[in-house]
Amino acid sequence: MDTERPDIEVINVNKSFGENHVLKDFSMSVSKGENLVILGKSGSGKSVLIKCIINLIQPDSGKIVVLGQDISDLDQDEIDKLRSRIGFLFQSNALYDSMTVRENLEFPLRRHWTREQRQKGAEPAVKEALEDVGLAHTIDMMPAELSGGMRKRIALARSLILKPDLILYDEPTTGLDPATAREISELMVSVQEKYKATSVIISHDMNCIRITSNRVIMLIDGRCYANDTFENLKLSKDPKIREFFD
């Protein structure tokens, strides 16, 4: 039996904004090395859940444990330290347009520079992360010179630069054409294999979910409505689940 503690534990979390009860006694856990997809309609609370996990939003009740730490017990320094172990891939990519690819990748390093990295300099880490996403040749280019798919890869490289234990992906394939979306999904799998990182992926791209997920949680009406593999959910006859597949 696997007795290792999950990397993320969300236990009976409630979160409301005024009358809008977004998360209702919501619980989930994500094991080490797992790729978990959170699927839900627009406005169902997927981003709120992710923001609770990184403590950008505080739940009204319940408990969240990330990489073994109860986040409600942490002070700002401890939160910053925890966040340095988490890679984020935003829907917008959040690259700085006025910086080269190299400078964009150096940015998180400079904030969380370890002594070893300071001695080695940023170059090896930047090159390794770019090689991981197949874009070593773009190191001195500007984001505007790259295609949408390449920018997404650069954003992924930046989220890998601190060798995260956990990667959070917010709709990683939205806005990409199907072939590029597939490439990004396959890249997410290869990154997971290399870094052994745990991933939480918000997505409604069924192809991306099929390629990347080990397990899918469906967030409906603030609750975990279904929790199963993509293949099993695909066979479900439940109308609420079928809506996502048909």
Ligand X SMILES: Nc1ncnc2c1ncn2[C@@H]1O[C@H](COP(=O)(O)OP(=O)(O)OP(=O)(O)O)[C@@H](O)[C@H]1O
**Residues at the site binding ligand X, with contacts judged by CB under 6 A:** 17, 20, 22, 40, 42-48
Kind of pairing between the strands at 86-89 and 69-70: unpaired
Which residue's CB is nearer to ligand X, number 16 or number 117?
Answer: 16
Which one, 186 or 221, has the nearer CB to ligand X?
221
Kindly state the smallest distance separating residue 32's Cβ from ligand X, in Å: 25
The minimum distance between CB 77 and ligand X, in angstroms, equals 24
Smallest separation, CB 92 to ligand X (Å): 12
Q: How far is the CB of 231 from ligand X (least distance, A)?
A: 23
Is the CB of 51 or the CB of 127 nearer to ligand X? 51
What count of other Cβ atoms lies within 10 Å of the Cβ of residue 145?
12
From the CB of 38, what's the least distance to ligand X, in Å? 8
Using a 10 angstrom Cβ sphere, with 0-12 exposed, 13-18 middle and 19 or more buried, the burial of residue 21 is middle
- In angstroms, give the least distance from the CB of 123 to ligand X: 37
Closest C-alpha to 155, from 188, 179, 117 = 188
Residue 160 in contact with residue 191, Cβ under 8 Å? yes
Rounded to 5, what percent of the chain is helix, strand, coil?
40, 25, 35
Checking DSSP bridges between strand 223-228 and strand 215-220, what pairing results, if any?
antiparallel
In angstroms, rounded to a whole number, what is the distance separating the alpha carbons of residues 198 and 19? 34
- Cβ-based nearer residue to ligand X, 19 or 246: 19
For residue 144, what are its two tokens? 């505007």
SS3 112: coil
Nearer Cβ to ligand X, position 84 or 91? 91
| Contact call for residues 75 and 24 (beta carbons, < 8 A) | no
Nearest to ligand X of 48, 150 (CB atom): 48
